[in-house]
Structure 1
Amino acid sequence: MHNEIISQLEAALGNTITLLESFTEIELNTVPFEGRWTAGQVGRHIFKVINGMDQLLYTPTERVDRDPEERAAGIRDLFLDFSTKMKSPDFIIPEDKQYDKQELIKSLQEANAKMTKAAKNSDLTQLAPLPEGNPLVGNSKLEIVHFVTYHTIRHNHQIEKISVAV
Structure 2
Amino acid sequence: MKKLLQTNIIETFKKLSEIHSKFTQSELNTVPFEGSWTAGQTTQHIIMASSGFAALFAGHTEGTPRRPDLYVKDLEELFLNFNTKMNAPDFLKPELKDYNKEEQTIKLLEKESDLLTLSEIHDLTLTCLDFQLPGFEKFTILEFIFFALVHAQRHTHQLNEIYKVLKKV
TM-score by length of 1: 0.92
CA RMSD of aligned residues (A): 1.6
The offset of 1:60, in angstroms, is 5.8
CA contact (8 A) 1:128 1:137 kept: no
The answer to which of 86-95 and 60-69 deviates more is 60-69
| 1:114 and 2:80 correspond | no
Give the match for residue 4 of structure 1.
4
Letter in 1 for 2:159: I
The match for 1:127 is: 127
| Alignment map for 1:15-164 (pairs within 5 Å) | 15-59=15-59, 61-131=61-131, 134-135=133-134, 138-164=138-164
Deviations 1:84-128, CA, capped at 9 Å, x for gaps: 011111101111000011011112211221122111221110012
Contact 1:57 1:124 in 2 (8 A): no
Would the aligned equivalents of 1:126 and 1:140 in 2 still touch at CA under 8 Å?
yes
Aligned partners of 2:118, 2:60: CA distance in 1, in Å? Answer: 12
Letter in 1 for 2:31: V
Rounded to whole Å, the distance in 1 between the matches of 2:6 and 2:112 is: 12
| Contact 1:54/1:119 (8 A) holds in 2 | no
Instruction: Report % sequence identity.
Output: 34
Contact 2:56 2:131 in 1 (8 A): no
Report the Cα distance in structure 2 between the residues aligned to 1:129 and 1:111, rounded to whole angstroms.
22
Q: Work out whether residues 64 and 125 of structure 1, in 8 Å CA contact, stay in contact via their aligned partners in 2.
A: yes
Equivalent position SS for 2:84: coil
**d(CA) in 2 for partners of 1:55, 1:38:** 29
What runs of 5+ residues in structure 1 fail to find an aligned partner? none
Q: Secondary structure at the match of 1:96?
A: coil
**1:149 deviation in Å?**
1.0
- Give TM-score, length-normalised by structure 2: 0.90
Shift of 1:159: 0.3
8 Å CA contact 2:9–2:112 kept in 1: the answer is: no
Q: Deviations over 1:5-39 (max 9, x none)?
A: 33112211222122111110010001111011111
Distance 1:141 1:164 in 2: 35
SS of match in other structure, 1:131: coil
